[in-house]
Structure 1
């Protein structure tokens, strides 16, 4: 499971939101405002930003971030209020007591389509709320029982299908094709040009610039990748050793 607990990304360990013993199930939400795809390294900060904006909302008077979980496009499920805490996102007091709330970091524009990783993260959050928060089996959207477009048509279509975990496998057209090194080299050189003395001189005379050193770039990149791969193998070995202790 890709659960990120509150303390792991800089929130107080426990939410001050009201206790709730159990729920009918879980409602799926989206942000409902423009949202752009971002590097994974920025997601935790964005979730903290959402919490800060909720706490600053004097009209709603939130005690914490409104959602029980927030899930980024990369699949991490960030614990918001968490299990056994009443949500503040479903529309009114009765709806907040009826179901938990899981929010996907999707917007009304920009990033609007959930990734497979995100769908897995939403299911991870739901599983955690069932296991640790006594959530029932029902899964719906924010719009179920409340007048809103949330969680957006693409995500709601998935909810209506029963919120299944993605199981798509690459079709033959999508599978990567393994090419011989000689063919890869031919394609690369045809696309970028090959540096040699005669071609260099002609390029300098015509444009004042040299042709890119494609061979040097490719071999340098290969060496860098090999070094990174070796370091990753060492890291995996260390992690496995720690795991076995």
Structure 2
């Protein structure tokens, strides 16, 4: 992998502390969504790429409406296949559209636009796969490879990149990503009302064990099958770990934090 750390491309310091995430379900692929000059893909144009990443970071830091902490992406990939470290591994992205979506997937952005350079180069596709595999190894990213538009109303990552993602994100001349490896099935979200009815179920025990494994257990004994205030306190700690605050961290499980917890099927 042709990896460019933040210090090497001249990254500015983050405005705020970046939220930590232990793992994600996978990675979402993005594009710039604006004009990218076709000449950027020329073999002798690579010297311009670090400056482009700096400009995107500066644009994001100047966006008072979004109030970004840093460049929104986990990584950016230039047409020459170099992977520029953005927020990086174990840092919640700011690019996917909401706190829940940002917690569920990392974000890798290709230097491809909606005009000018609209088709990723073969080197760039290799670079995107390099970035995904780096985030799997260094950031505990799961097996999913999705487009930004999967789960959020946007044209990103554009028709060419999205077709590649839907085809399994194959390396040029290689095979498609095999997708999630066989493994344990996870409990589907039972719904907020199920928890508020104070259920007694092995699902509650399995949930509690996952919360303890994530360092969020607030149990004096247990966990056990009966939903109690200790379960709610533990789940609130998990919500805060995922970056939620206020009423979004009230201890009642929601669909996005439940999916991220990955409670094994019982």
Bin the TM-score by the shorter chain. Answer: 0.5 to 0.7
2:86 to 56, 59, 80: 80
| TM-aligned CA deviation for residue 9 of structure 1 | 1.2
Aligned to 1:239: none
3-state SS of paired residue (2:36)? coil
Q: In structure 1, how many angstroms separate the alpha carbons of the residues matched to 2:167 and 2:13?
A: 35
Aligned position for 1:62: 68
Residue in 2 aligned with 1:8? 8
* 1:45 Cα offset (Å): 0.4
Q: What secondary structure is seen at the aligned counterpart in 2 of 1:70?
A: strand
Cα deviation, residue 10, structure 1: 1.1
* Cα deviation code 1:134-168 (max 9, x no counterpart): 00000000000111100000000000111011117
> Cα RMSD between the aligned structures?
1.4
Distance 1:115 1:11 in 2: 25
Partner of 1:164: 170
TM-score w.r.t. length of structure 2: 0.61
For residue 132 of structure 1, give the secondary structure of its aligned residue in structure 2: helix
Per-residue deviation at 1:18?
1.0
- CA distance in 1 between counterparts of 2:149 and 2:64 reads 24
Indicate the residue corresponding to 1:101 in structure 2: 107
| 1:137 correspondence with 2:138 | no
2: distance between equivalents of 1:79 and 1:166?
23
Alignment length (residue pairs): 168
* Map of 1:33 onto structure 2: 34
Runs of 5+ consecutive residues of structure 1 not aligned to the other structure: 169-245
1:90 is matched with which residue?
96
- CA–CA distance in structure 1, aligned partners of residues 3 and 134 of structure 2: 8
Q: Return the TM-score normalized by structure 1.
A: 0.67
Q: Which residue number in structure 1 is paired with residue 53 of structure 2? A: 47
Distance in 1 (alpha carbons) for counterparts of 2:166 and 2:52: 28
- Once the two structures are superposed, what CA deviation does each residue of 1:16-55 show, in whole Å capped at 9, x if it has no partner? 4211110000000001111113211000001000000000
User: 1:57, 1:13 → 2: CA distance?
Assistant: 16
The CA distance in 2 between the partners of 1:145 and 1:44, in whole Å, is: 30
Runs of 4+ in 1 over 3 A off after TM superposition: 12-16
Kept in 2: contact 1:7–1:13 (CA 8 A): no
Asked if 2 retains the 8 angstrom alpha-carbon contact of 1:28 and 1:139, the reply is: yes
- Cα distance between partner residues in 2 of 1:9 and 1:32: 22
CA distance in 1, matches of 2:11, 2:159: 31
Q: Which moved more, 1:1-10 or 1:15-24?
A: 15-24
Of 75-84 and 3-12, the range deviating more from structure 2: 3-12
